[in-house]
Amino acid sequence: MSRPPRRTGARRGPRRPVDPARRAAFDALRAVHAGGAYANLALAEILDRRHLDERDAALATELVAGSSRLQGTYDAILEAAAGRPLSSLQPAAVDVLRLGTHQVLSMRIPTRAAVDSAVDLAGTAIGERVTGLVNAVLRKVAAHDLDAWVDRLSAGTSGVERLALRTHHPRWIAQTYADLLGEEAAAALEADNVAPRPTLVVRPGLTERDDLVAAGATATRWSPYGAVGVGNPGDLVAVRDGRAGVQDEGSQLVALALSRVEAPAGRWLDMCAGPGGKAALLTGLARARGEDVLAAEVAEHRAGLVAQALRAYRPRPGVICADGTRPAWRAGAFARVMLDAPCTGLGALRRRPESRWRHQPEDVDDLVPLQAQLLVSAIRSTLPGGVVAYVTCSPHPSETEDVVQTVVDELGAQRTVVEVLDAPAFLPEVPACGRADPWGGQRFVQLWPHRHGTDAMFLALLRVG
């Protein structure tokens, strides 16, 4: 007598079609984990191509952002539930499990619906052979809520390790925040887990912030050029025609600070200008003084984004594809230089949630020589009495204060005098934005999500002697 077929836990019969939101989220995660894409950009491209309605687009966005933000926590939970390392599973199946775990533990979706939808997605996108695994693992995940899972994972831990687990960050990032903020670290890390509302910025001279407010936006707290909360920014005429754009208030503030420093008349340089937000704001601020901006960007496709950001200005500002470490301009050519240096982006984890799991501590070390080289080039590109803004979207000491100190000291030894200005004095409306400098002062600006509602932007202002 033959044995009946063994049940796998997967649904029998015709499989239900996967809803477009979950399929879009899965495809975006595959682009992130298999292709190295940024989650927000990958999803935006998919949503634009597939024309999802507003409800499905919102669901897909939450699935991608949430599963990326808590990826490390979810992976630890999944390994505990599966009883095996995730490296032993097919990568596509792991992404299905992450999406399912987010629905089970962090969304108001009934467990059965969350598990069944994940099984359907696995069967359609990968194959029936993985549906039993997905079903079994997610049912074990559903045995506890998120808080209970975190309690289990953090049992026996303390200090920074416990902080990292409970705020869903790698330990090395939690340690960086603890070193910089002490007791404030938990609040800062928790703020990374709150998705920011879209922030807009006007192009000065082309439109006014009041026009955005009239369209339903709310004026930003400190930047006189920003507004928050208008739904889909692309629906606004001012955004479509280039008179306004999307830009975090922190980025607006560091550009504003550079414009407020006394400096000789002359052309301005945005040395690493991609994707163009700061260049567009600086252009409006410079032209109000009768001056202009040259935008330089080493990557050709990003130089194209800069040109797009500047398209509404007449005459159009100069945009060149150039490597800031090998300047395409003469020394001392500019009165003001903006150097928003390539960095790990640890200050933008609200908007790039997958970045916290993508980066490793050695990534910081790899970037520091480039940052220092670019800062030396920026200083040498500045005329005597001119000002350089050294900016990073990272609070990490190696990318911020250490770079500034190294460059200032090295150039000083070569008899190039560089004065570190009191940067917070140029943002007097922004509270608690000072950060200690290596020479015993508080001359750096450090913005924080939990204090200021912005990305964690760092700013040093340097006057060239």
Active site residues: 393
The rounded distance, in Å, linking the Cα atoms of 215 and 211 is 6
